A and B are shown apart, each in its own frame.
Chain A
Amino acid sequence: MGLIMLILIGTVPTAYALNHAVTFKESQDFIAVSQQAANALDHYVEPDAVIGDARDDVTDYIRTKQFNANTMLAMRTLVNDIGNETTIYRELKNVPNDRVRNFRNDLYLVSEALRLTQKSGQPKFSAADAAILANYKKHVDRSTRFIPTWVKVAVAMALGLGTMVGWKRIVVTVGEKIGKEHLTYAQGAAAEITAMATIGAADGFGLPVSTTHVLSSGIAGTMAANHSGIQMSTVRNLALAWVLTLPVAMVLSGSLFWLFRKIF
């Protein structure tokens, strides 16, 4: 859905770059919160910081993840600019068409920069300032990170339709091509409980664990424990597919990107 939003923002920015559902009152709150955020950031601006192009400086920070002497000044400048512009336009839907894209970009940059400072702990914000900035970031994200309900409905429909059309192939592999004997009640339950528990635990560690991987391996495990035998050819293919997923996706998308850039 994030990519669909990128498409919408790219093709019709005037309708989707900024969340038009943000109310007048929320915008007024935002102006106040921006003021607080700018004051908070002021505490951390280096005395020898040089004023440059604020947008470029913050973009560099996000790209390189290297915090330097000018970063904080640039961030504060962007926060100030955004606050001032909101004061002028009073509401997001009043932002003029030729300003929409830049306004959105400024909001995106500030939000990403704040996320990086939170994550890296550099600079070390005081508890009070950190709270002010977190609140500010929430307001910023409300303006740019939104998904209209119709997009969710369309995505859910496409997913559902896909499942109805294509479920059989995968189900047959998981259900009967891994073990040599028919799945028993206990085996099914054991694999399923394992998948549920592992996904829950993996969340805590922040690892991108896939239900697919755990469940398929779980079935193989119950087949082994039961001395039912495992179909090695399937296991080999599965392992190959799982290991290849990342590199193949990388090569495919990289080449396609290169190709599209050359053609268009």
Chain B
Amino acid sequence: MATASSVLDAKISRSPGKIGMIVFGIVLVIGFAYAGSHLLSDLSTIHNESVLPYVLLGVALLVALAFEFVNGFHDTANAVATVIYTHSLEPHVAVVWSGFWNFLGVMASSGLVAFAIVSLLPVELILQVGNKAGFAMVFALLVAAIIWNLGTWYFGLPASSSHTLIGSVIGVGIANQMMSPKTGTSGVDWGQAANIGKSLLLSPLVGFGVAALLLLLAKSLIKDEKLYRAPEDTQPPPFLYPLSAGTDLHRREFLPRLQ
């Protein structure tokens, strides 16, 4: 699925521009400098003779950020697709706008969501997170999710990062069980897999049905031919378009209910 012959190229009315790139670069540098300086000041209180923990920390953080980076490929992209194809916003503006909401979503999150995933992991691995088994778990989760997300992205297939992560968690649970049969048989939360199965059956049906009905309803109620034709050139819609950037905020909220 090459993007070369895409209609999208015609929609990009301007390149991000030098100023845009510079602003973006500055924001990035400030952000990472802020994060780095805080990490260093936290570490400065610790006296450790060995360098190994720091090397491990550096590598692990890089992999974890790479995971978030690849998540970014998928996450926002589907939220801006309809915005772009209806010319509600110029593509670059749409992407930045969505990125802005994502940023707010992360900053506003309480951590409840993040820790909900953690509590799905085998408890004995959580307790020895500083040991080899703990690191094997963290790296297995991150690398597996990166591979699948990157692979689906390469083929242009939008997939769910949450389903990927939950799958990875279950996989580690099973492997852990098989490698240490002594420590119990119920380290895997199959309820999560069942929930994913249900949502896999429901979401396409509901999405397909409701959207089709909505369109037919609109057609019978609103008689404006322009709405039901492909946009001419880059004309924006004649109505205020529902911007979905907010649904990303929403997505971050559903995980706590998984428990």
Contacts and interface: CB of A to CB of B under 8 A. Distances in A.
Interface of A: 1-16, 59-60, 62-65, 101, 105, 108-109, 112, 115, 119, 145-177, 181-200, 202-203, 206-222, 224-226, 237-239, 241-243, 245-261, 264
A238 B158 contact: yes
Contact of B199 (A165, A209, A221, A258): A209
Interface string B131-157: 011111111111111011000111111
B64 A258 contact: no
Interface in B49-91: 53-54, 56-57, 60-61, 64-86, 88, 91
Contacts of A249: 144-145, 148, 163-168, 170-171
Nearest to A105: B127
A202 B199 CA distance: 9
A208 B207 contact: no
A205 to B, nearest CB: 9
Contact of A216 (B56, B68, B75, B207): B207
Given A159-B69, A242-B204, 6 more contacts: A1-B109, A166-B73, A190-B214, A241-B152, A245-B164, A261-B132
B206 to A, nearest CB: 6
A168 B81 CA distance: 9
B69 A158 contact: yes
Contacts of B124: 59, 63
A175 B3 CA distance: 12
Interface range on chain B: under 10, 10 to 19, 20 to 34, or 35 or more? Answer: 35 or more
Contacts of B81: 170-171, 174-175, 215
Contact of A190 (B1, B107, B163, B218): B218
B93 interface: no
Nearest to A239: B204
Contacts of A150: 34-35, 38-39
B167 A242 contact: no
B22 interface: no
Given A182-B85, A219-B82, A242-B160, A154 B35 contact: yes
Contact of A157 (B35, B57, B123, B238): B35
A64 B70 CA distance: 34
B207 A207 contact: no
B14 to A, nearest CB: 16
B156 A146 contact: no
User: Which 7 interchain pairs have the tightest Cβ spacing?
Assistant: A162-B72, A249-B167, A166-B73, A217-B207, A218-B211, A210-B160, A253-B144
B119 interface: yes
Contacts of B215: 186-187, 190, 221-222, 225-226
Given A195-B244, A251-B171, A257-B175, A225 B31 contact: no
Given A248-B148, A257-B136, A214 B206 contact: yes
Contacts of B98: 163
B207 A218 contact: yes
A214 B171 contact: no
B68 A192 contact: no
Contacts of B1: 169, 172-173, 177
B111 A217 contact: no
A191 B81 CA distance: 11
Given A11-B130, A212-B159, A185 B207 contact: no
A203 B152 CA distance: 26
Nearest to B169: A253
A16 B57 CA distance: 12
Contacts of A193: 211, 214, 242
B15 to A, nearest CB: 13
B241 to A, nearest CB: 6
Given A7-B64, A63-B186, A156-B107, A13 B130 contact: yes
Interface string B178-211: 1100011111000011011111101111111111
A11 B57 contact: yes
A13 B48 CA distance: 12
Interface string B203-232: 111111111111110110010001111110
Contacts of B71: 159, 162
Contact of A158 (B65, B78, B138, B166): B65
Contact of B102 (A1, A13, A160, A255): A160
A213 B200 contact: yes
B57 A7 contact: yes
Contacts of A62: 123
Interface in B6-52: 6-8, 24, 28, 31-32, 34-35, 38-39, 42-43, 45-46
Contact of A224 (B206, B208, B255): B208
A166 to B, nearest CB: 3
A159 B65 CA distance: 8
